[in-house]
Amino acid sequence: MNSLLLTGGRVIDPANRLDTRADVLISQGKIVAVGADAAAKAPADVERMDVSSQVVCPGLIDMHVHLREPGQVAKETIATGTAAAARGGFTSVVCMPNTSPAIDNAGTVALIDERAAEQGIVNVYVTGAITKNLAGEEMAPIGSLKKAGVVAITDDGHCVQNNELMRRALEYAKMFDLPVLDHCQDETLGTDGVMHEGYWSIALGLRGWPAAGEEMIVARNILLAEATGARVHCQHVSAAGSVRLLREAKKRGLPVSGEACPHHFTLTDAAVAGSEKFIEVDGKGVFGLDASHGVLPSWPAYDTNFKVNPPFGSAHDREAILEGLVDGTLEVLCSDHAPHCDYEKEVEFDYAPFGITGLETELALSLMQLYHSKRLGLSELIAKFTVAPARLLHLSKGTLSVGAEADVTVFDRDRKWVFEKSGSASKASNSPFYGWPLRGKAVATIVGGRKVWTEQGELAKV
């Protein structure tokens, strides 16, 4: 394998508390040197990439992705999902077990590993189910899932409603040193809701889903984490009350954590009423960042690409998530990339499946809402995409330490661009962010020392 020298970039490696202008030398798939001596150590035939106006950081990790394979390959495949990840700047993804069949046995884990080795262009880590077929009735074989290599267990898409079963699962998971990730949703409170319960659900005549439906399970998880000592990680936190509960629990030293998705800290329930209403009511902080874009996105009311689980909350919820990210209550950023077919989404709002794609827009939206808005430094933001998920899931990733596998993301924090379907590698087109003026973009994604995606031509300009 050839050597690659990334020259002159701003190298940010939160795991090593590094933020400096430096060269990075990659050879034989590993990080060989970072700093002034990197160029001197490079062989004569080294390939050079000038990244002097870019940020160079450990390869980004998205720990919440639905790749839809096996069984739902009309929506996405490991090939297209990992291609979308690479375009978004992600070198590793963690896939959820709500496939068909579900990832509740060692055989399915092996199948995904095999496909990922053949067709994936970024690293694919697998999660196993907590319960068989994610039905919430009987525990999945957690020991054999661990042996097969899962990095965590979750029933994502569903939530274990039986508290006794959840307690036993936590005890098992602790024995096997597996983190438990939970999609927090009390089904008795959110049964038939299609959007956040509040002013807009009433105005639009849609069935509401109260924030307490999430908060209830976050509280349950905190109590069970305290009782069992097992780690519980709350997925895609969307409600202010959930953030508050997690903050208090962490203050008491309990083994709980949380993640947030860009759509939950960018959009609000007003977005379901269409772009005009959203921009008028809750969009100012988002679009007002830079008027020079000149274009504002437009979408109609009841657009099913704004139907997501959990639903977009109120502006108060959005602010609470941003605060939770800033004060460290929520330590992980991820997409909940959930591709669907066009025909599935082209139905009435009530009948459309929940979920939107996110791998290609999450870095830009995170930069806009956290960094460009001056809420969070670049290093703190990158940590939530690298060292934080790596530590949580015990992955040997998320750092540019010498000797580490050379997973590297190069991105332009200021690049202005507009997300279009034609520029997407995903098989699906259920994104609410088409036509959005975005700021910040990955320009090169390097996995194990190999450039799996670069923005050719544009890179040459820098």
Stretch that binds Zn ion, among 107-115, 176-184, 287-295, 438-446 (CB under 5 A): 176-184
156 binds Zn ion (CB under 5 A): yes
Cis before 255? omega within 30: no
User: Which residue's CB atom is positioned nearest to Zn ion?
Assistant: 183
How far, in Å, CA of 123 to CA of 90, rounded?
Answer: 9
Torsions phi, psi of 422, nearest 5?
Answer: -65, -20
Torsions phi, psi of 363, nearest 5?
Answer: -65, -45
Active site residues: 336
Asked whether the beta carbons of 207 and 201 are under 8 A apart, the reply is yes
When the beta carbons of 183 and 413 are compared against Zn ion, the nearer one is: 183
How far, in Å, CA of 217 to CA of 165, rounded?
Answer: 14
The dihedral formed by the CA atoms of 140, 65, 55 and 318, expressed in degrees to the nearest 10: -100
How far, in Å, CA of 127 to CA of 179, rounded?
Answer: 10
66 binds Zn ion (CB under 5 A): no
Q: Where in 4-63 is the site for Zn ion (CB under 5 A)?
A: none
Q: Smallest distance from the beta carbon of 127 to Zn ion, in angstroms?
A: 11
Q: Smallest distance from the beta carbon of 389 to Zn ion, in angstroms?
A: 16
When the beta carbons of 23 and 156 are compared against Zn ion, the nearer one is: 156
When the beta carbons of 68 and 183 are compared against Zn ion, the nearer one is: 183
183 binds Zn ion (CB under 5 A): yes
Query: E strands along 157-204, which residues?
Result: 180-182, 195-196
Stretch that binds Zn ion, among 101-109, 114-122, 154-162, 244-252 (CB under 5 A): 154-162
How far, in Å, CA of 336 to CA of 357, rounded?
Answer: 7
Stretch that binds Zn ion, among 107-115, 181-189, 215-223, 385-393 (CB under 5 A): 181-189
How far, in Å, CA of 397 to CA of 389, rounded?
Answer: 9
Beta partners for 398?
none
Cis before 101? omega within 30: yes
Stretch that binds Zn ion, among 42-50, 122-130, 148-156, 245-253 (CB under 5 A): 148-156
Query: Radius of gyration (Cα) for the chain, nearest Å?
Result: 21
Q: Smallest distance from the beta carbon of 9 to Zn ion, in angstroms?
A: 35
Using CB under 5 A as the binding criterion, the count of chain residues that bind Zn ion stands at 2
Q: Smallest distance from the beta carbon of 189 to Zn ion, in angstroms?
A: 16
When the beta carbons of 183 and 318 are compared against Zn ion, the nearer one is: 183
Beta partners for 233?
181, 257
Enumerate the H helices of 233-329 as residue ranges.
240-251, 275-281, 284-287, 315-326
Q: Where in 307-336 is the site for Zn ion (CB under 5 A)?
A: none
Would strands 4-13 and 18-27 be described as parallel, antiparallel, or unpaired? antiparallel
When the beta carbons of 156 and 412 are compared against Zn ion, the nearer one is: 156
Q: Smallest distance from the beta carbon of 180 to Zn ion, in angstroms?
A: 14
DSSP code of residue 59? P
Q: Where in 237-296 is the site for Zn ion (CB under 5 A)?
A: none
361 three-state secondary structure: coil
When the beta carbons of 13 and 156 are compared against Zn ion, the nearer one is: 156
Q: Smallest distance from the beta carbon of 217 to Zn ion, in angstroms?
A: 12
From residue 308, alpha-carbon distances to 185, 264, 432 in Å are 13, 9, 10
Q: Smallest distance from the beta carbon of 175 to Zn ion, in angstroms?
A: 25
When the beta carbons of 183 and 263 are compared against Zn ion, the nearer one is: 183
Which tokens is 228 given?
A: 């069992």
Stretch that binds Zn ion, among 3-11, 163-171, 178-186, 409-417 (CB under 5 A): 178-186
Q: Which residues bind Zn ion (CB under 5 A)?
A: 156, 183
